[in-house]
Structure 1
Amino acid sequence: MDQLADMLDTLSGIIWSEYVLIPLLLLTGLFLTVRLRLLQFHKLFHALWLALIRRKEAEGVQGDISHYQALSTALAATVGVGNIAGAALAIGMGGPGALFWMWMTGLVGMATKYSEALLGVKYRREDSVGKQSGGPMFYLRHGLPGGLGLTLGVLFAVFGAIAAFGIGNGTQANTVSQQLNAVWGVPTWVAGIAMVIIAGTVIIGGIKSIGRVAAGVVPIMILLYIGVTLLVLIAHAGDIPAALALVMTDAFTGQAAAGGGAASIFVVIQAGVARGIFSNESGLGTGAIAAAAAKTDQPVRQAMVSMTQTFIDTLIVVTMTCLAIIVTGVWQEDGRGDGAAMTSAALQDGLAAISPGLGPLGGYIVAIAVAVFAFTTILGWSYYGERCIDFLVGHKGVPFYRVVFVAMIYVGAVASLDIIWLASDIANGLMALPNLIGLLLLSPVIVQETQKYFGNPDWKNPDIKIPDVRQ
């Protein structure tokens, strides 16, 4: 068993190494950024307006949930452990300069997320029970010719269904149970049963139920976390310019690292890029599955809404987490922990600077945020895995999948199954490979759709129907 674990750990390290997936994800984002002529920059404010302010849905269009619920579902599956614990790990591994490379990953990742969502809506299909179903498996199958598209689509769906049980289920359930146990002494088995009941109730209701819960819980939790972190930054406002200067200089020198050691420039880049990708999932294709469920007849419009997920996830939440860690100085102090523990220490120290009595509140906020975000990740990934199963075997496999998925929540809450998590981590990485191939090969379609949409003089009017480019 130990040999199997070592083998899987080695394979996971290769797939997620600086030689395979990390550069491929980053370079694909750069390629799409160039092909789309920096769209994520000059259309960002309009995209945010569509996503957060203009929330009226078109009437009589296909889809199962609103575009806001689709965005919230995608955020539910990404904002969480990666933003709170992962961002801190990046600073711990590579020093403050890692934040710069997380920014770069987020900026090019917006183009990737845009492209995934556009294709997800364009190539979606109605399943046997009348629900919209889309994502990489569909745009690979129907967008690429012959056996290549089918093979890549099947591979993505297989890896996606496997990954859902690890990154989207067991590891998240374990995080929730451990947080509740550490902070409030809740037995892990009690947390497991509670999660099974609550998650099972939501998951049985399908994407409409998941979308409603995500739209209600995720924005509130994000605002609460941002609000507390903002208080810390306000209390250390005088330190922010120096912190930003340190981020910029360390990104290219690699002189700072946790504990005052030296980190090479390569380690800084690797830490920032890897954690940035883990945070926003741009390139993994999952966001396209949520986007495909949205009520819309405009692939480009939904794509703009979807790319704001990466902006919110990485460029706002991750940035605030990292700056709080840097300005409070906890990243340089031994014994302050890593991951979520480092973030908790930063918020506790920051709030204590305002008033000593507020210090413990920071720890509670982090514990609650990690638990809630991890739980909503379970909900989001349950839908991703379900769509993969539906693609592979049809709707008849979905009820069985849901039962197994919900049961796995309890297993994850009470046990640490390292081999299963390693296998899931590998599958999670392997999801990206067929998806990235598809994005590169279908980039002409992405560009054509985009030019058609923005070539219409009325594109800013969300009530105007702009025909998409059907093949």
Structure 2
Amino acid sequence: MEATLLELVGTINSYLSNYVLVFLLVGAGLFFTIRTRGIQFRRFGEGMRRMFGNFSLRGDKSKSGMTSFQALATAVAAQVGTGNIVGACGALLVGGPGAIFWMWLIAILGMATNYAEAVLAQKTRKIDPDGTVHGGPVYYITAAFTGAFGKFLAGFFAVAIILALGFMGCMVQSNSIAETVNNAFGIPTWVVGLVVVVLAGFVFLGGVSRLASVTEKLVPIMAVIYIVAGICVLVVNWQNVGPALALIFQSAFNPAAEVGGATFGIIAALSQGAKRGLFSNEAGMGSTPHAHAMANVSNPHEQGTMAMIGVFIDTIVVVSITALVIVSTLFVGDGALAQDFNGALAGGLSKTNLAQTAFGTMMGADGGNIFVAVCLFMFAFSTILGWNLFAKINVQYLFPRHKKAAVTVFSVLALGFIFLGSLASNDLVWELADLFNQLMVLPNVIALVAMSGAVVATANQFGGSERAKDADGDAEGRTE
């Protein structure tokens, strides 16, 4: 039954990722890049200044939203997960090194899309009398389309994100944690699953303030450790970095790129780049706007620029480190995949241990296993926290009269799925997560395009000059 389901879901995903997803992601990115006059390039420096200017490991704890940096940290926590390690590995093995180029392109265009998502999330967010903040695609979907159609699209999105992130996505994260920890330490996967459930439950019970406190500390630390270690591997293998970059670009446009006897086509590279790019940086998917809606900022443009930096950190920095480490050690020169690609796979290389093997070229086999297992644990655990929050917001949207009971039931089920993920088939879990991720994109992108006028107005008002203006017009188009 599992094999049949895997084949069915895989077939659906191939059509979505090869045609629908590529068109929507690239199209939306180009659309907002053009309409905002390249906001991700013009205001990139502003976003970086805001990030470092707001940087703090001990931000304010408040029920009424988050600081701007806490919102960014929560968004990046959701973005930087297994997609940055296991997802990038899967893209390399199925689409070849060229898939990384398309992940980069999706990210660069996605920065403009993510700007639009954050701006609209800020403009349409709701604040309860007790100060609790609610925001995300369901709110700008219903603002874009009033009446039954808007309610249908919002409901479709809410159900899709609960399944995609709250259940299936968290299964992917716990699955990858369990696999890599088992490879590194030999701990049974079910034991790892129980540990993740206990830790996640502790944070879930603490609400938004505890989650923000954890992510603002965990995200910067885990990113710095991983990036520094990756740079060390690249320095040791400096002679292979140039050939690795060349192979990535050549494979992206070569109809029959060959590596170690295996052939990779453009369609496979583009498809994997789009699919794994979405899973990695989530631009256009509609997940991170939930975090950015909670930011207490002067105007929507401010958080829009912060959102762009989240995509940049996720893909252009972290995924690039993963990809260059793997390609420079395994795909070029004397690397195992460069010599005999299919033979290396038959010998045990897979997307779950590829990064461990690559880091092991410098750290030793055991050191590589342990290092990647620890990093992946932090990456995936932080993603579980962020995704649970995003799904929970949509549970509250679907059950406005029974929020507390609905959230309790959802939280119990989510913890159960986290445990099951540590036991499930890796391939089936990934395919199910991909399916619901891609379904989320459809209503989200439709609403983004419909509300593009408000995004452009914000970009022109606050992002047109060298220094963004203060929030004189913040109330315009904003619902609180």
TM-score w.r.t. length of structure 2: 0.89
**Contact residue 453 and residue 466 of structure 1 kept, 8 A:** no
Separation in structure 2 between the aligned mates of residue 406 and residue 174 of structure 1, nearest angstrom: 13
Which stretch shows the higher mean deviation, 102-111 or 337-346? 337-346
Match of 1:206 in 2: 207
Are the structure 2 counterparts of residues 307 and 20 from structure 1 closer, same or farther at C-alpha, using a change threshold of 3 Å? Answer: same
Of 345, 350, 361, which residue of structure 1 is paired with 2:357? 345
**Contact residue 97 and residue 268 of structure 1 kept, 8 A:** yes
The CA deviation at 1:399 is 2.4
Alignment of 1:60-139 (within 5 A): 63-127=64-128, 129-139=130-140
The CA deviation at 1:135 is 0.5
Structure 2 spans left out of the alignment, 5+ residues: none
The CA deviation at 1:456 is 6.3
The CA deviation at 1:317 is 0.8
Match of 2:177 in 1: 176
CA deviation profile, 1:268-309 (whole Å, cap 9, x unmatched): 222222222221111110010111111223111001101111
Alignment of 1:314-463 (within 5 A): 314-329=315-330, 330=335, 331-333=337-339, 334=344, 335=347, 337-349=349-361, 351=362, 360-394=366-400, 395-396=403-404, 397-416=406-425, 423-455=432-464, 459=468
- 2:471 paired with 1:470: no
Match of 2:220 in 1: 219
Alignment of 1:40-55 (within 5 A): 40-55=40-55
Match of 1:355 in 2: none
SS at match of 2:257: coil
Separation in structure 2 between the aligned mates of residue 470 and residue 81 of structure 1, nearest angstrom: 36
Separation in structure 2 between the aligned mates of residue 165 and residue 12 of structure 1, nearest angstrom: 21
**Counterpart amino acid of residue 338 in structure 1:** S
Structure 1 spans left out of the alignment, 5+ residues: 353-357
Are the structure 2 counterparts of residues 382 and 129 from structure 1 closer, same or farther at C-alpha, using a change threshold of 3 Å? Answer: farther
Are the structure 2 counterparts of residues 97 and 427 from structure 1 closer, same or farther at C-alpha, using a change threshold of 3 Å? Answer: closer
Separation in structure 2 between the aligned mates of residue 301 and residue 309 of structure 1, nearest angstrom: 13
Separation in structure 1 between the aligned mates of residue 189 and residue 6 of structure 2, nearest angstrom: 27
The CA deviation at 1:455 is 4.5
**Contact residue 291 and residue 306 of structure 1 kept, 8 A:** yes
Separation in structure 1 between the aligned mates of residue 230 and residue 6 of structure 2, nearest angstrom: 39
Match of 1:293 in 2: 294
**Counterpart amino acid of residue 351 in structure 2:** G
CA deviation profile, 1:387-416 (whole Å, cap 9, x unmatched): 000111022322222222223322333444
Match of 2:5 in 1: 5
Provide the identity percentage.
35
The CA deviation at 1:88 is 2.0
Are the structure 2 counterparts of residues 248 and 178 from structure 1 closer, same or farther at C-alpha, using a change threshold of 3 Å? Answer: closer
Separation in structure 2 between the aligned mates of residue 67 and residue 336 of structure 1, nearest angstrom: 44
**Contact residue 29 and residue 110 of structure 2 kept, 8 A:** yes
CA deviation profile, 1:120-159 (whole Å, cap 9, x unmatched): 1110002475311111001111233333322211111111
**Contact residue 123 and residue 138 of structure 1 kept, 8 A:** yes
Separation in structure 1 between the aligned mates of residue 277 and residue 258 of structure 2, nearest angstrom: 18
SS at match of 2:468: coil
**Contact residue 83 and residue 313 of structure 1 kept, 8 A:** yes
SS at match of 1:262: strand
Separation in structure 2 between the aligned mates of residue 116 and residue 290 of structure 1, nearest angstrom: 11
Are the structure 2 counterparts of residues 87 and 422 from structure 1 closer, same or farther at C-alpha, using a change threshold of 3 Å? Answer: closer
**Contact residue 340 and residue 366 of structure 1 kept, 8 A:** no
User: How many aligned positions are there?
Assistant: 461
Separation in structure 2 between the aligned mates of residue 467 and residue 438 of structure 1, nearest angstrom: 23
Are the structure 2 counterparts of residues 441 and 256 from structure 1 closer, same or farther at C-alpha, using a change threshold of 3 Å? Answer: same
Separation in structure 1 between the aligned mates of residue 86 and residue 267 of structure 2, nearest angstrom: 21
- 2:21 paired with 1:21: yes
**Contact residue 121 and residue 136 of structure 2 kept, 8 A:** yes
**Contact residue 172 and residue 433 of structure 2 kept, 8 A:** no
**Counterpart amino acid of residue 167 in structure 2:** G
Separation in structure 2 between the aligned mates of residue 332 and residue 365 of structure 1, nearest angstrom: 24
Which stretch shows the higher mean deviation, 50-59 or 128-137? 50-59
**Counterpart amino acid of residue 47 in structure 1:** G
**Counterpart amino acid of residue 18 in structure 1:** N
Separation in structure 2 between the aligned mates of residue 24 and residue 317 of structure 1, nearest angstrom: 24
SS at match of 1:286: coil
Are the structure 2 counterparts of residues 253 and 426 from structure 1 closer, same or farther at C-alpha, using a change threshold of 3 Å? Answer: closer
**Contact residue 325 and residue 346 of structure 1 kept, 8 A:** yes
The CA deviation at 1:465 is 2.7
Separation in structure 1 between the aligned mates of residue 430 and residue 323 of structure 2, nearest angstrom: 27
Are the structure 2 counterparts of residues 307 and 470 from structure 1 closer, same or farther at C-alpha, using a change threshold of 3 Å? Answer: same
Separation in structure 1 between the aligned mates of residue 86 and residue 436 of structure 2, nearest angstrom: 22
CA deviation profile, 1:160-192 (whole Å, cap 9, x unmatched): 112224343222222222222222122333222
Are the structure 2 counterparts of residues 230 and 283 from structure 1 closer, same or farther at C-alpha, using a change threshold of 3 Å? Answer: same
CA deviation profile, 1:91-128 (whole Å, cap 9, x unmatched): 22233222221111110010111111111111000247
Are the structure 2 counterparts of residues 52 and 254 from structure 1 closer, same or farther at C-alpha, using a change threshold of 3 Å? Answer: farther
- 2:150 paired with 1:149: yes
The CA deviation at 1:10 is 4.8
Aligned-residue CA RMSD in angstroms?
A: 2.6
**Counterpart amino acid of residue 44 in structure 2:** L
**Counterpart amino acid of residue 450 in structure 1:** A
**Contact residue 120 and residue 138 of structure 1 kept, 8 A:** yes
Separation in structure 2 between the aligned mates of residue 238 and residue 116 of structure 1, nearest angstrom: 41
- 2:284 paired with 1:283: yes
CA deviation profile, 1:223-281 (whole Å, cap 9, x unmatched): 11111110011112233223222322222124434433222222222222222222111
The CA deviation at 1:4 is 6.4
**Counterpart amino acid of residue 186 in structure 1:** I
**Counterpart amino acid of residue 31 in structure 1:** F
